[in-house]
Protein backbone atom coordinates (compact mmCIF):
# COMPACT_ATOMS: atom_id res chain seq x y z
CA UNK A 1 0.00 0.00 0.00
CA UNK A 2 1.40 3.39 -1.04
CA UNK A 3 1.70 5.88 1.78
CA UNK A 4 0.05 9.25 1.32
CA UNK A 5 2.60 11.98 0.76
CA UNK A 6 0.81 14.39 3.11
CA UNK A 7 -1.89 14.00 5.73
CA UNK A 8 -3.12 17.05 7.63
CA UNK A 9 -5.62 16.71 10.45
CA UNK A 10 -7.31 19.51 12.40
CA UNK A 11 -4.69 22.12 11.50
CA UNK A 12 -5.50 25.26 13.44
CA UNK A 13 -3.81 28.62 13.89
CA UNK A 14 -5.37 31.54 15.75
CA UNK A 15 -4.37 35.16 15.17
CA UNK A 16 -6.12 38.19 16.69
CA UNK A 17 -7.89 38.91 13.38
CA UNK A 18 -7.84 35.53 11.62
CA UNK A 19 -8.33 31.85 12.41
CA UNK A 20 -7.32 28.86 10.35
CA UNK A 21 -10.18 26.71 11.53
CA UNK A 22 -9.02 23.16 12.07
CA UNK A 23 -8.75 22.02 8.46
CA UNK A 24 -8.04 18.43 7.36
CA UNK A 25 -6.94 17.10 3.97
CA UNK A 26 -4.54 14.68 2.28
CA UNK A 27 -2.42 14.68 -0.87
CA UNK A 28 -1.73 11.36 -2.56
CA UNK A 29 1.81 10.38 -3.52
CA UNK A 30 2.84 11.54 -6.99
CA UNK A 31 0.04 14.09 -7.29
CA UNK A 32 0.01 17.87 -7.75
CA UNK A 33 -2.45 19.69 -5.49
CA UNK A 34 -3.38 23.35 -5.84
CA UNK A 35 -4.28 25.48 -2.82
CA UNK A 36 -6.52 28.37 -3.87
CA UNK A 37 -8.42 31.18 -2.19
CA UNK A 38 -8.56 34.94 -2.11
CA UNK A 39 -5.84 37.02 -0.42
CA UNK A 40 -6.01 36.42 3.33
CA UNK A 41 -7.88 33.11 3.01
CA UNK A 42 -5.16 31.22 4.89
CA UNK A 43 -3.02 29.69 2.12
CA UNK A 44 0.35 30.85 3.42
CA UNK A 45 -0.70 30.14 7.01
CA UNK A 46 -1.55 26.58 6.01
CA UNK A 47 1.79 25.96 4.30
CA UNK A 48 3.83 27.57 7.06
CA UNK A 49 1.90 25.59 9.68
CA UNK A 50 2.61 22.35 7.84
CA UNK A 51 6.31 23.25 7.73
CA UNK A 52 6.27 24.27 11.41
CA UNK A 53 7.56 27.69 10.41
CA UNK A 54 4.85 29.02 12.72
CA UNK A 55 3.36 27.38 15.80
CA UNK A 56 -0.03 25.76 15.26
CA UNK A 57 -2.26 22.96 16.46
CA UNK A 58 -2.99 19.76 14.59
CA UNK A 59 -1.28 16.69 13.17
CA UNK A 60 0.92 16.60 10.08
CA UNK A 61 2.22 13.35 8.60
CA UNK A 62 4.61 13.12 5.66
CA UNK A 63 4.82 9.67 4.07
CA UNK A 64 3.42 8.26 7.28
CA UNK A 65 5.93 10.01 9.56
CA UNK A 66 4.50 12.31 12.24
CA UNK A 67 6.15 15.74 12.02
CA UNK A 68 6.06 16.29 15.79
CA UNK A 69 7.58 12.87 16.55
CA UNK A 70 10.17 12.58 13.80
CA UNK A 71 10.95 16.14 12.72
CA UNK A 72 14.43 15.42 11.36
CA UNK A 73 13.28 12.62 9.07
CA UNK A 74 10.28 14.64 7.87
CA UNK A 75 12.39 17.67 7.00
CA UNK A 76 14.61 15.44 4.86
CA UNK A 77 11.51 14.58 2.82
CA UNK A 78 10.15 18.13 2.60
CA UNK A 79 11.14 21.06 0.43
CA UNK A 80 9.66 24.55 0.85
CA UNK A 81 9.77 27.25 -1.82
CA UNK A 82 8.33 30.73 -1.47
CA UNK A 83 7.89 33.33 -4.20
CA UNK A 84 11.48 33.66 -5.37
CA UNK A 85 14.64 33.44 -3.23
CA UNK A 86 15.11 36.30 -0.75
CA UNK A 87 18.21 35.14 1.11
CA UNK A 88 21.92 35.88 0.67
CA UNK A 89 21.47 38.26 -2.30
CA UNK A 90 25.24 38.93 -2.55
CA UNK A 91 26.32 35.28 -2.30
CA UNK A 92 27.02 33.12 -5.31
CA UNK A 93 24.75 30.15 -5.97
CA UNK A 94 27.69 27.87 -5.23
CA UNK A 95 28.25 29.47 -1.81
CA UNK A 96 24.56 29.28 -0.90
CA UNK A 97 24.41 25.61 -1.91
CA UNK A 98 27.46 24.83 0.23
CA UNK A 99 25.79 26.47 3.24
CA UNK A 100 22.49 24.66 2.70
CA UNK A 101 24.22 21.29 2.19
CA UNK A 102 25.57 21.45 5.74
CA UNK A 103 22.05 21.09 7.14
CA UNK A 104 21.27 17.84 5.29
CA UNK A 105 23.14 14.57 5.94
CA UNK A 106 21.94 13.13 2.63
CA UNK A 107 22.81 16.09 0.44
CA UNK A 108 23.52 14.87 -3.10
CA UNK A 109 26.11 17.10 -4.77
CA UNK A 110 25.82 15.26 -8.09
CA UNK A 111 22.04 15.73 -8.09
CA UNK A 112 22.49 19.46 -7.38
CA UNK A 113 24.90 19.79 -10.30
CA UNK A 114 22.48 17.90 -12.53
CA UNK A 115 19.52 20.12 -11.58
CA UNK A 116 21.60 23.26 -12.10
CA UNK A 117 22.49 22.07 -15.59
CA UNK A 118 18.86 21.17 -16.31
CA UNK A 119 17.63 24.58 -15.10
CA UNK A 120 20.50 26.50 -16.76
CA UNK A 121 21.72 27.88 -13.41
CA UNK A 122 25.21 29.42 -13.43
CA UNK A 123 26.83 28.69 -10.06
CA UNK A 124 29.18 31.68 -10.24
CA UNK A 125 26.26 34.11 -10.41
CA UNK A 126 25.06 35.95 -7.34
CA UNK A 127 21.50 35.46 -6.13
CA UNK A 128 20.61 39.09 -6.84
CA UNK A 129 21.57 38.59 -10.49
CA UNK A 130 18.87 35.96 -11.04
CA UNK A 131 15.45 36.67 -12.52
CA UNK A 132 12.43 35.74 -10.40
CA UNK A 133 11.90 32.61 -12.46
CA UNK A 134 15.51 31.52 -12.02
CA UNK A 135 15.33 32.15 -8.26
CA UNK A 136 12.44 29.71 -8.08
CA UNK A 137 14.39 27.14 -10.06
CA UNK A 138 17.36 27.62 -7.73
CA UNK A 139 15.07 27.01 -4.74
CA UNK A 140 13.77 23.84 -6.40
CA UNK A 141 17.31 22.62 -7.11
CA UNK A 142 18.25 23.10 -3.45
CA UNK A 143 15.13 21.28 -2.22
CA UNK A 144 15.46 18.35 -4.60
CA UNK A 145 19.17 17.89 -3.89
CA UNK A 146 18.57 16.91 -0.28
CA UNK A 147 16.10 14.25 -1.38
CA UNK A 148 12.80 16.10 -0.94
CA UNK A 149 9.89 13.95 -2.12
CA UNK A 150 7.20 16.49 -1.18
CA UNK A 151 7.41 20.13 -2.27
CA UNK A 152 5.37 22.90 -0.65
CA UNK A 153 5.34 25.99 -2.84
CA UNK A 154 3.90 29.28 -1.60
CA UNK A 155 2.77 31.53 -4.48
CA UNK A 156 5.76 30.47 -6.62
CA UNK A 157 4.46 32.08 -9.82
CA UNK A 158 3.67 35.46 -8.26
CA UNK A 159 5.33 38.15 -10.36
CA UNK A 160 6.28 35.83 -13.21
CA UNK A 161 5.42 36.71 -16.80
CA UNK A 162 3.21 34.28 -18.80
CA UNK A 163 6.13 32.56 -20.53
CA UNK A 164 7.98 32.05 -17.24
CA UNK A 165 4.81 30.62 -15.69
CA UNK A 166 4.45 28.23 -18.61
CA UNK A 167 8.05 27.14 -18.11
CA UNK A 168 7.39 26.67 -14.39
CA UNK A 169 4.33 24.50 -15.07
CA UNK A 170 6.44 22.35 -17.40
CA UNK A 171 8.95 21.95 -14.56
CA UNK A 172 6.22 20.82 -12.15
CA UNK A 173 4.94 18.23 -14.60
CA UNK A 174 8.48 16.95 -15.11
CA UNK A 175 8.94 16.61 -11.33
CA UNK A 176 5.63 14.75 -11.08
CA UNK A 177 6.88 12.26 -13.68
CA UNK A 178 9.90 11.73 -11.42
CA UNK A 179 7.60 10.80 -8.55
CA UNK A 180 7.72 14.11 -6.63
CA UNK A 181 4.50 15.19 -4.88
CA UNK A 182 3.66 18.91 -4.95
CA UNK A 183 1.31 21.18 -3.01
CA UNK A 184 1.35 24.77 -4.15
CA UNK A 185 -0.70 27.85 -3.45
CA UNK A 186 -1.56 30.30 -6.18
CA UNK A 187 -4.16 32.84 -7.22
CA UNK A 188 -3.47 32.16 -10.91
CA UNK A 189 -5.99 29.41 -11.54
CA UNK A 190 -5.08 28.92 -15.20
CA UNK A 191 -1.81 27.36 -13.99
CA UNK A 192 -3.78 24.88 -11.90
CA UNK A 193 -5.92 23.83 -14.85
CA UNK A 194 -2.71 22.82 -16.59
CA UNK A 195 -1.06 20.84 -13.80
CA UNK A 196 -3.20 20.24 -10.71
CA UNK A 197 -4.79 16.85 -10.01
CA UNK A 198 -6.52 18.13 -6.87
CA UNK A 199 -7.94 21.45 -5.71
CA UNK A 200 -8.05 22.62 -2.10
CA UNK A 201 -10.18 25.76 -1.82
CA UNK A 202 -9.78 27.89 1.30
CA UNK A 203 -12.13 30.69 2.30
CA UNK A 204 -11.59 32.68 5.50
CA UNK A 205 -9.67 29.83 7.09
CA UNK A 206 -12.25 27.19 6.16
CA UNK A 207 -11.79 24.45 3.57
CA UNK A 208 -14.75 24.83 1.20
CA UNK A 209 -13.67 22.28 -1.40
CA UNK A 210 -11.28 19.34 -1.60
CA UNK A 211 -11.63 17.20 -4.70
CA UNK A 212 -10.08 16.29 -8.05
CA UNK A 213 -9.76 19.27 -10.38
CA UNK A 214 -11.79 17.72 -13.21
CA UNK A 215 -14.59 16.69 -10.84
CA UNK A 216 -14.80 20.14 -9.25
CA UNK A 217 -14.97 21.94 -12.60
CA UNK A 218 -17.51 19.46 -13.97
CA UNK A 219 -19.74 19.89 -10.89
CA UNK A 220 -20.65 23.51 -11.62
CA UNK A 221 -21.96 25.50 -14.57
CA UNK A 222 -22.54 29.23 -15.05
CA UNK A 223 -25.93 30.48 -16.17
CA UNK A 224 -27.13 33.93 -17.18
CA UNK A 225 -30.56 35.12 -16.06
CA UNK A 226 -32.80 38.03 -16.99
CA UNK A 227 -33.60 38.86 -13.37
CA UNK A 228 -32.49 38.14 -9.82
CA UNK A 229 -35.79 36.36 -9.22
CA UNK A 230 -35.20 34.04 -12.19
CA UNK A 231 -31.78 33.18 -10.78
CA UNK A 232 -33.34 32.44 -7.40
CA UNK A 233 -35.90 30.12 -8.97
CA UNK A 234 -33.04 28.16 -10.58
CA UNK A 235 -31.29 27.88 -7.17
CA UNK A 236 -28.26 29.69 -8.57
CA UNK A 237 -25.47 30.43 -6.11
CA UNK A 238 -23.53 33.64 -5.73
CA UNK A 239 -25.72 35.62 -8.10
CA UNK A 240 -24.16 38.86 -9.32
CA UNK A 241 -24.98 41.48 -11.89
CA UNK A 242 -23.26 41.25 -15.29
CA UNK A 243 -23.55 43.16 -18.59
CA UNK A 244 -26.44 41.05 -19.91
CA UNK A 245 -28.40 40.58 -16.67
CA UNK A 246 -27.44 38.33 -13.78
CA UNK A 247 -25.06 35.42 -13.51
CA UNK A 248 -24.96 32.57 -11.03
CA UNK A 249 -23.38 29.20 -10.32
CA UNK A 250 -25.59 26.13 -10.64
CA UNK A 251 -24.99 22.46 -9.91
CA UNK A 252 -26.62 19.26 -11.13
CA UNK A 253 -27.61 20.55 -14.57
CA UNK A 254 -26.31 20.68 -18.12
CA UNK A 255 -27.75 24.16 -18.63
CA UNK A 256 -25.31 27.02 -19.11
CA UNK A 257 -21.57 26.71 -19.71
CA UNK A 258 -18.78 24.99 -17.80
CA UNK A 259 -17.45 27.14 -14.97
CA UNK A 260 -13.78 28.05 -14.67
CA UNK A 261 -11.95 27.81 -11.34
CA UNK A 262 -12.01 31.61 -11.14
CA UNK A 263 -15.78 31.65 -11.57
CA UNK A 264 -16.28 28.88 -9.02
CA UNK A 265 -14.26 30.85 -6.47
CA UNK A 266 -16.02 34.14 -7.18
CA UNK A 267 -19.56 32.78 -7.04
CA UNK A 268 -18.95 30.62 -3.97
CA UNK A 269 -17.50 33.66 -2.18
CA UNK A 270 -20.59 35.68 -3.16
CA UNK A 271 -22.81 32.84 -1.94
CA UNK A 272 -20.98 32.76 1.37
CA UNK A 273 -21.57 36.50 1.84
CA UNK A 274 -25.27 36.03 1.08
CA UNK A 275 -25.66 33.49 3.89
CA UNK A 276 -23.44 35.32 6.39
Domains defined along the chain, listed by start: 6-204 (3.40.50.300), 215-275 (no CATH)
Which of 64-96 are b and which e, b meaning 16 or more Cβ less than 10 Å from the residue's Cβ? ebebeeeeeebbbbbbbbbbbbeeeeeebbeeb
Phi, psi of 87 (to 5 degrees): -105, 155
Residue 85 has what pLDDT? 66
Give yes or no for a contact between 132 and 164, defined as CB atoms under 8 angstroms apart.
Answer: yes
Residue 273 has what pLDDT? 78
Q: Alpha-carbon torsion 202, 83, 132, 119, what sign?
A: negative
Count of Cβ atoms closer than 10 Å to residue 262 Cβ: 14
Residue 13 has what pLDDT? 96
Residue 1 has what pLDDT? 64
Residue 134 has what pLDDT? 87
pLDDT in tens, the chain (276 residues): 678 999 999 999 999 999 999 999 999 999 999 999 988 999 999 999 999 999 999 999 999 999 999 988 898 899 888 766 677 889 999 999 999 998 888 899 999 999 999 899 999 999 999 988 888 889 889 988 988 999 999 988 777 788 888 888 898 999 999 999 999 998 888 888 899 999 999 999 999 899 999 999 999 999 999 999 999 999 999 999 999 899 999 998 888 999 999 999 999 988 887 776
Tell me the three state secondary structure of residue 150: strand
Residue 112 has what pLDDT? 93
Please provide the DSSP assignment of 156-224 as one string: TTTT--HHHHHHHHHHHHHHHHTT-EEEEE-S-HHHHHHH-SEEEEEETTEEEEEEEHHHHHHHEEEEE
**H or E stretch including 22?**
strand 18-27
Q: Which residues have CB under 8 Å from 245's CB, separation 6+?
A: 224, 225, 226, 227
Residue 238 has what pLDDT? 94
Residue 72 has what pLDDT? 87
Residue 84 has what pLDDT? 61
Residue 190 has what pLDDT? 85
Task: Evaluate if pTM is beyond 0.95.
Answer: no
How many residues are present in the chain?
276
User: How big is the CA angle at 67 (ends 61 and 68), to the nearest 5 degrees?
Assistant: 130
Amino acid sequence: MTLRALEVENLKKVYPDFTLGGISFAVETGQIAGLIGRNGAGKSTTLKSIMRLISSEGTVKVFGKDFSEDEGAVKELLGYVGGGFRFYPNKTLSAVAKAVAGFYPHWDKEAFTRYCEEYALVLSKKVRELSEGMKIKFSLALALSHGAKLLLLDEPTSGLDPLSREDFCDTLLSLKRQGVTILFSTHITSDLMRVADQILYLSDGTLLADEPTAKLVKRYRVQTFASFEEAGAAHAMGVKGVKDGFEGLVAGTEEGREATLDEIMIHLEYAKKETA
